[in-house]
Structure 1
């Protein structure tokens, strides 16, 4: 009997892990379609930010160790966005950012806003992680290069047109 229970538990685990992949792929596809961003690029960002961990959390501190902000979920949504997301009715609390599809949608929304500010370039993609300050140019470039490497390792998926295509436009 115990062996039968173990077999059922193993099968259930395998089925759950297999069923989560299409849902995750759907999240990237849906967010990409909504915001005109390559789902493959969104997945590359999620892999770079959290290694696809929907419960990833990162506390950002200043040089004195004081908490500046916190990043949540797959796309590591920064807590500075929480008041606006709450005002728009997207989330009630930061805990909502642990919902994978909502987190991917939010990350795509943040990136789309950045592209509106600084254009659709790889350096602008770097602002997703490093912000817009002029003295953060090298940090943006480093981040963009890291995401580019991840992007190139991902299999091409049938999706909406890629707005950030190729390495040009830095």
Structure 2
């Protein structure tokens, strides 16, 4: 069986692009983790649970048939954050949350770090990343925290 040079070159190019993507992705989580003093594996676990690592994900928060809000990108940044992020000069519009995965991870890490400063480093506080701070949301925060914990432990090679 003979392989053409073009086929080999194409295979190497695709493999190189995949490795570059994985490497760039790791860099984004590592950089955000270092900047906001959050374990990069924890940020990855959040991205896996929030978007299945899909940088183009758009989530819809519904109350029955009524759309309450939307979430964007890897870390599922809620649209309610956009006015503050615009005022800070961090982004111009929601599309940037989809087009720039590293920016999305940085913003997610910043939000998580703010939450942890507000309510402490504990599982329920981690759950506020998804379920917010409302007093009646404690069960939702803990369900979310358990998902993150299981995903985090799996990424470290441990069971949940």
TM-score computed with the length of structure 2 as normaliser: 0.90
Which residue of the partner structure matches residue 166 of structure 1? none
SS in 1 for 2:54: coil
Q: Structure 1: which 5+ runs fail to align?
A: 157-170
Q: Structure 2: which 5+ runs fail to align?
A: none
Which residue of the partner structure matches residue 60 of structure 2? 59
SS in 2 for 1:68: strand
Aligned residue pairs, count: 154
Which residue of the partner structure matches residue 15 of structure 1? 16
**1:91 has 2:94 as partner:** no
SS in 1 for 2:60: strand
CA displacement 1:52-77 (0-9 Å, x = unmatched): 111111111222x1221111111010
Which residue of the partner structure matches residue 38 of structure 2? 37
Compare 147-156 and 24-33 and name the one that shifted more.
147-156
Tell me, in whole angstroms, the C-alpha distance in 1 between the residues paired with 2:6 and 2:71: 39
Tell me, in whole angstroms, the C-alpha distance in 1 between the residues paired with 2:9 and 2:71: 37
Which residue of the partner structure matches residue 129 of structure 2? 128
TM-score computed with the length of structure 1 as normaliser: 0.85
Tell me, in whole angstroms, the C-alpha distance in 1 between the residues paired with 2:17 and 2:151: 26
Tell me, in whole angstroms, the C-alpha distance in 1 between the residues paired with 2:138 and 2:37: 25
Tell me, in whole angstroms, the C-alpha distance in 1 between the residues paired with 2:37 and 2:142: 22
SS in 2 for 1:137: helix
Tell me, in whole angstroms, the C-alpha distance in 2 between the residues paired with 1:108 and 1:76: 11
Which residue of the partner structure matches residue 143 of structure 1? 144
TM-superposed deviation, 1:11: 2.7
Tell me, in whole angstroms, the C-alpha distance in 1 between the residues paired with 2:138 and 2:10: 50
